[in-house]
């Protein structure tokens, strides 16, 4: 009988100790979660406080011998940090170039949201685009630009102007 009582005491004592350890561990997890949430909220309270003027994101050709040649360029007068690693870029200019350095297209917008990790810029505001030779102009509202393939989509109120070269008379 005393052996059974002693074993019952040990089992009860071990369960209580395990419960205390679990409670302490859960408390530490809760404190850590609260601290992380507080730090995250604190960091998101001041997204506009960090900014840079003369923002540039440049991609160069990777093939030899053109490694010094700009392939795509997104520039802005100012960039402000947004949550999620995004940037609000003001006075945006996007340019793409041929391997020989010739301008392919230029697009301008008052502002856009730029995702530098995925190389995507977008805006619901006005946008003006024209080809490097000036023969095609497209204006509209709202755009999406994928840096990876220089794909520009203008989504709303699109107006296109084609300039035809006139032949000179002899």
The tokens for 116 are 């530098």
- Measured in degrees and rounded to the nearest 5, phi and psi for residue 162 equal -105, 125
How far is Cα 154 from Cα 147, in angstroms, rounded to an integer? 15
Q: Which percentage of the chain shows pLDDT scores above 70?
A: 66
Chain segment 33-50, per-residue pLDDT in tens: 454 444 433 333 323 334
pLDDT reported for residue 141? 92
User: Does pLDDT of 72 surpass 70?
Assistant: yes
pLDDT reported for residue 163? 82
Chain segment 119-164, per-residue pLDDT in tens: 899 999 999 999 888 888 999 999 998 888 878 888 889 888 888 7
For residue 71, count other CB atoms closer than 10 A to its CB: 19
């Amino acid at each position: 009988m005393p052996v059974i009582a002693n074993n019952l005491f040990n089992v009860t004592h071990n369960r209580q100790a395990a419960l205390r350890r679990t409670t302490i561990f859960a408390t530490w997890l809760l404190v850590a979660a609260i601290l992380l949430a507080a730090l995250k909220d604190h960091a998101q309270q001041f997204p506009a406080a960090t900014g840079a003027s003369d923002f540039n994101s440049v991609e160069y050709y990777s093939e030899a011998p053109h490694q010094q040649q700009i392939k795509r360029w997104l520039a802005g007068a100012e960039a402000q940090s947004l949550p999620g690693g995004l940037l609000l870029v003001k006075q945006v200019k996007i340019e793409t170039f041929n391997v020989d350095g010739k301008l392919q297209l230029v697009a301008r917008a008052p502002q856009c949201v730029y995702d530098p990790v995925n190389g995507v810029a977008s805006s619901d505001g006005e946008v003006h685009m024209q080809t490097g030779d000036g023969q095609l102009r497209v204006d509209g509202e709202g755009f999406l630009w994928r840096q990876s393939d220089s794909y520009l989509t203008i989504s709303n109120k699109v107006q296109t102007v084609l300039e035809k070269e006139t032949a000179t008379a002899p």
